[in-house]
Structure 1
Amino acid sequence: MWLNHFEDQTVGEALLDRIVHRSHVFNLEGESMRKKRGKEVGKFLILVQVRRHFNS
């Protein structure tokens, strides 16, 4: 997939090799913080809409 963004596959492989050469892999467990925050934001937006509906 990444290599589709480079005209020359060798250049793409070399760039990706440089990026991940000294990288570390962290295996995280549990629910994603993005999902948790998304749920909180969704609940807040519903609450705001309900309040606006009854206050108008």
Structure 2
Amino acid sequence: MVIDENPTARHMQRSSCIAKFKGEIWEFLFLVFLGNILLYIYIRRFYRGDRKNHHTW
């Protein structure tokens, strides 16, 4: 009975681990995507202000 139940339990554990890993990957990609958008907006605003101020730094 124990030998019969072991592979299925191991398989379910592995699949749940893979699902968790996929979820973490999608969360990471979403955070990177948001970060890139914010960085792009910040850089555009910075360059626009930099052109206006004629290299203040």
For normalisation by structure 2, the TM-score amounts to: 0.48
Choose 1 or 2 for highest CA Rg: 2
Which of the pair has the greater relative contact order for Cα pairs under 8 Å at 6+ separation? 1
**What TM-score does the superposition give when structure 1 sets the normalisation length?**
0.48
Q: Per residue, is there more helix in 1 or in 2?
A: 2
